[in-house]
Amino acid sequence: MRYLALIFLFIAGTAYADPPDNYPFVSYDAGLQQAQQKNKPIFVYFGRHGCGFCAKTNKESFSDAELRKRYIDNYVLVYVDAESGDRLTLPSGERITEAELGARLNVFATPIFMYLDQSGEVLFRAPGFKTIKDFVDFDRYIQEGHYKSKSINEFLSM
């Protein structure tokens, strides 16, 4: 069993896909389309290959079944590899790479989590490792509409 665990760790550590397992993450442009169709806000996860705090977030927060259900139910989930040359189409029709999207949105470190409305406008961004409680609070901030009248700090201090 010990060796199996080591093998698992090795496989997990070298995984190509960096978003958490078993989440229906889609590309940025597909997510914008789905958000319009489903009338849902968008949760964008900017990560990069080998990002330590992305792995920590995946392991300690996104592994939670209740959080997973909450975010799948409430958002269109988008993952952007902040180093990738894969192309996507912006609502304006412009085609850029995932890395260029990160540059334009000032994704200076990873992970950065962004909450967007159905049109793609950024409502709130949260950089760095976040706990399960953080993600639940952020979800309430968006879903209950507090972002319209309060900063995230004002909301959290209520």
Partner 1 sequence: MKHLLLILCAAFYPLTIHADALQFTAPLTVTTATKDVFIHLDSSGRRSLAVSDEVVAVIWEDNRNGKPGIYIAYHLPGKKTFTGLDEISQPSPAYEPVIAPLAGQRFLVAWEAEDQVWLRVVSPSKKGETVAIGRTPAKQITVATAKGGLAGAAWSQGQQRDAHVYYADITIDDYAIEVAPPQLVDNSKDKDVQQYPALALTRPGKVIAWEDRRQGATRIFSAFSPNGKAFQDYRLLNEFAPSPNPELGKGSGAMRPVLAGDGRQTVAAAWMDKRNWRSGYDVFAAVSVNGGKKFGANEQAQDMFGENVPQWHASITQSPNADVAVVAWDDTRNENPDVFYSLRVDGEWSEDYELPGASGPGRQSHPSIIYDEQGVLHAVWLDNIEGQTRLQYACSVHSVQ
Bridge partners of residue 87, in order along the sequence: 97
- Which residue type does 117 have? D
CA–CA separation, 53 and 26 (whole Å): 21
Is there binding between residue 91 and partner 1 (CB under 8 A)? Answer: no
Is there binding between residue 83 and partner 1 (CB under 8 A)? Answer: yes
- Pattern 18-47, binding to partner 1, x per CB under 8 A? ------------------------------
The Cα diameter of the chain in Å comes to: 53
Binds partner 1 (CB under 8 A): choice among 50, 69, 122, 151: 50
Is there binding between residue 16 and partner 1 (CB under 8 A)? Answer: yes
The residue with tokens 């979800």 is: 139
Is there binding between residue 96 and partner 1 (CB under 8 A)? Answer: yes
Is there binding between residue 48 and partner 1 (CB under 8 A)? Answer: yes
Residues 6+ apart with CB under 8 A from 77: 23, 24, 25, 26, 31, 42, 43, 45, 71
Is there binding between residue 53 and partner 1 (CB under 8 A)? Answer: yes
Binds partner 1 (CB under 8 A): choice among 3, 65, 93, 157: 93
Residue closer to partner 1 by CB (options 119, 145) is 119
Let me know if 77 is exposed, middle or buried by CB neighbors in 10 A (0-12, 13-18, 19+). buried
Residue closer to partner 1 by CB (options 1, 13) is 13
Is there binding between residue 52 and partner 1 (CB under 8 A)? Answer: yes
Q: Before 24, cis peptide (omega within 30)? A: no
